[in-house]
Structure 1
Amino acid sequence: MNQPRYKIVFDGELMPETTLETVKENLARLFKSDLARIDSLFSGAQVALKRDLGENEANQYLTALQNAGARVRKELDQAASLSLVPTDDHQEEAPQEAAATSAASTSMTCPKCGHEQPKADECSACGIIIEKYLARQAQLAASPQPASAPASASPYAPPQANVAEQLPEFSELKVFGVSGRIGRVRYLGWLMAVTLCFMPILLLGTGMAAFSSTLAMLLLVLVSIGAIVISICIGVQRLHDIGWSGWLLLVHLIPIVGSVFALLMLIIPGTQGVNRFGPPPPPNSTAVKVLAWLFLLVPITGIVAAIAIPQYQGYVERAAEFQEQ
């Protein structure tokens, strides 16, 4: 008895918490196709993405496509499951019926995909050679394989390949870029590193002002632009780690709300595991942790200084008054 065959059906619906553009890009990578062809899958019509699959193959494609964000389903492929070998009761009648049908009609149905077309040696939909396909199916039906044999014994079956995208364990770290993810500690550490790198340059620009105010101003402008660009890059990666779009970084431009949003970026933890922006960031190094603590000490030191300096000045003034008396 032939094993049942399945097909993977898609009608344009998406999995929860996925976006249309992300799903289209994932499907384009999986099928190694361009976005123009992928767009045709989202017309709302039912499309069979894969046909004539064994159960294991169908489950593999089902899992991979659902992970890519497409809400697909597995259905029995009736056209591929039909037996092509006549039974004993119809051994003599089958050739006569085939001849009568051939003489009465000029159209044909593909035995693999069920496509209706004028009589031809090759199916215009799935591309199989009809005669070779029928001979192979008849051979398989006459000599059934054991259940443990792979379903890909047919030369027309899809290759045994893992179509799921193999993502790395951790995302790649890159300061100059808006792709990838970084956590809260690395975000603080990189901000501190940017501050430490640009502080000597700012001091140099201040010293150059004594000789040439134009060169000093030019240097300060270039340094400021560089610091802003790097801050935007690492800010977008921090938002990606939370699972938010990098465009939310524009919230910083709103008075008061921007300050609250910057605090949220330091408090909210990142997504556990893979999210739509990629794998999680790698573990924090010792240098990153030290820089993060230094960044936290800067505002704390400023607050302590703001409190202590006026107190010290008041103490000095009272001491001077006491000596005058």
Structure 2
Amino acid sequence: MSAPVQLVFRGEVLAGFRLEDVQRDLGRLLRADEAGLKRLFSGQRTVLKRGLAAADAQHYVSRLAAVGARLHVEPMPVPPPVAPAAGGWPAIAPPPEEERRAAPPVAAPPPPVPVPVPVPVPAKPKELELVATAPADEVVCPTCGERQSRRLLCRSCATNLEMALAAKAEEEALRRAERQAALEARRNPRRRVEADGGEHSAWAIGLSFSGRVGRLSSATANLWLIGALLLLTAGFLQRPSLPRLLLVGVGALGVFFFSMRLTVLRCHDCDRHGWWALFVLVPYVGSLASLLIGLLPGNPGPNEYGPPPPRGRWRWFGLSLVVLALCSALLVRGGIRFAERYAAEQADDGADDIVELGGDGRIGGGSGGGAALQEALRDYAGAPGHKAFAASSRQTFAWAGNASSLDEAVREAMAQCDARRQPYTPDCRVVNVNGQPVR
């Protein structure tokens, strides 16, 4: 079994930490007031904990190193062995033989009167400070429970009372800090407070580029961002306007910013610098880099960028998938309506470009008409009997001539036009019958 050690603090701060932050975090961890902090950081040697095993000492060293405080592990001072005599008093070594011969004989001392040993009484609980409390008339030995007047060594078990009481007070202060950290973690699991550092985990959606985020939380946040962008685009397609177009542009910039932030935090979770996130902007390589960064597992323990992030929740991931599916359906619906409106506007423009049959018996097309439309109009103008011309746009049209009746010509023209019409384009309509325009 290894010899017990003690923890010593000399007010040293680790590199990369600010003195003000270390004082604040250490004071919160040890429940020390302003006077206690001033004494801790005065540069003098302060014993924080005594009688520890080597493994436990290293645990405390790592915990306080997380807040930037440097602890030193030193061996415990061993008090000189003193054998207690009868009555609780230490035995006195006999004088050398020469002195006994030279000294005159003296009368034998009276026999010691037995001192009654008081019954140990448990001390009332009270608030213990970081360092030893002020001297009192009586103390209780933390090792054997013996109540006695204040002295250096316990009269029953020879324990150093001052060191034992200070170690007990420090242990209770650390336990209170651990209980407080666990209570805060249960009250607010989304921003879990780590007992070793007092730092907060990064939010999946935020403005800070410091901290870490897990794979599931990052994927959930990205799905929410994509759903928001799809919803803005669907709103623009439902009713296009310049303000809505500007809103879609601002939303796209916001989604890009938050997506890059999530990529940086994922790099931190994998113990990589945030500049690695720039690989997602490289053409062709960016898709693979984004997939790798999103799927690589993070460090299970603390790293240079902070404590482990809280675990994501699958229910939020499932809800984000449902919202993304709804936003996608709205976008498809808005796109279909936008295409129908655009085709209708094009059809109206095409129908207006078809030039009506003139009084000179000729028919022609506008400046925007194609060669096929011009040829169809010339053939229609020279067709005998009843005839009709139907059109959906400048690209979809048909005509029928030399019919026995006007209704037969109209039906045949409409049937041919509907057969040529593409899906999601305006319906065909008759624009000319027997050389007369139809409005």
TM-score between the two structures when normalised by the length of structure 2: 0.40
Tell me whether 1:76 sits opposite 2:94 in the alignment: no
Alignment of 1:51-200 (within 5 A): 53-55=50-52, 60=56, 62-69=58-65, 72-76=71-75, 78=77, 81=79, 88=92, 132=135, 139-141=151-153, 143-145=155-157, 152-153=164-165, 158=170, 160-162=172-174, 166=181, 168=185, 172=191, 174-177=203-206, 178=208, 181-200=212-231
Q: Relative contact order (C-alpha < 8 Å, sep 6+): which is higher?
A: 1
Aligned 8 A contact 2:6 2:57 in 1: no
Aligned 8 A contact 1:7 1:52 in 2: yes
Alignment of 1:250-269 (within 5 A): 250-253=278-281, 258-269=286-297
Q: For 2:62, what is the secondary structure of its paired residue?
A: helix
How much does 1:139 deviate? 1.4
Aligned 8 A contact 1:10 1:49 in 2: yes
Residue type of the partner of 2:271?
G
Residue type of the partner of 1:194?
L
Q: Counterparts of 1:21 and 1:208 in 2: how far apart (Å)?
A: 54
> 1:227/1:64 Cα in 2 relative to 1: closer, same or farther (>3 Å)?
same
Q: Counterparts of 1:200 and 1:73 in 2: how far apart (Å)?
A: 58
Q: Counterparts of 1:209 and 1:198 in 2: how far apart (Å)?
A: 16
Residue type of the partner of 1:8?
V
Aligned 8 A contact 1:51 1:77 in 2: no
How much does 1:286 deviate? 4.2
Residue type of the partner of 2:8?
I
Aligned 8 A contact 1:242 1:271 in 2: yes
Aligned residues: 242
How much does 1:265 deviate? 0.4
> 1:161/1:62 Cα in 2 relative to 1: closer, same or farther (>3 Å)?
farther
Question: What is the aligned counterpart of 1:20 among 16, 24, 27?
Answer: 16
Q: Counterparts of 1:236 and 1:51 in 2: how far apart (Å)?
A: 39
Aligned 8 A contact 2:61 2:70 in 1: yes
Aligned 8 A contact 1:27 1:65 in 2: no
How much does 1:262 deviate? 1.9
Residue type of the partner of 1:175?
A
TM-score between the two structures when normalised by the length of structure 1: 0.50
Q: For 1:54, what is the secondary structure of its paired residue?
A: strand
How much does 1:26 deviate? 6.4
Q: For 2:269, what is the secondary structure of its paired residue?
A: helix
Tell me whether 1:201 sits opposite 2:216 in the alignment: no
Q: Counterparts of 1:196 and 1:25 in 2: how far apart (Å)?
A: 40
> 1:278/1:52 Cα in 2 relative to 1: closer, same or farther (>3 Å)?
closer
Tell me whether 1:29 sits opposite 2:33 in the alignment: no
Q: For 1:75, what is the secondary structure of its paired residue?
A: strand
Residue type of the partner of 1:285?
W
Overall identity of the aligned pairs, in % = 19
How much does 1:220 deviate? 2.2
Q: For 1:20, what is the secondary structure of its paired residue?
A: coil
How much does 1:242 deviate? 2.0
How much does 1:20 deviate? 3.3
How much does 1:288 deviate? 1.3
Cα RMSD over matched residues? Answer: 5.5
Question: What is the aligned counterpart of 2:252 among 201, 224, 233?
Answer: 224
Residue type of the partner of 1:174?
W
Structure 2 unaligned blocks of 5 or more:
83-88, 95-129, 140-148, 192-201, 329-439
Aligned counterpart, 2:270: 242
> 1:60/1:29 Cα in 2 relative to 1: closer, same or farther (>3 Å)?
farther
Q: Counterparts of 2:314 and 2:46 in 1: how far apart (Å)?
A: 45
Q: For 1:74, what is the secondary structure of its paired residue?
A: strand
> 1:198/1:21 Cα in 2 relative to 1: closer, same or farther (>3 Å)?
same
Tell me whether 1:6 sits opposite 2:6 in the alignment: yes
Aligned counterpart, 2:124: none
Structure 1 unaligned blocks of 5 or more:
91-125, 299-325
Q: What's the CA shift string for 1:283-302, capped at 9, x where partnerless?
A: 5414515857989xx9xxxx
Aligned 8 A contact 1:271 1:280 in 2: no
Q: Counterparts of 1:63 and 1:11 in 2: how far apart (Å)?
A: 19
> 1:221/1:257 Cα in 2 relative to 1: closer, same or farther (>3 Å)?
same
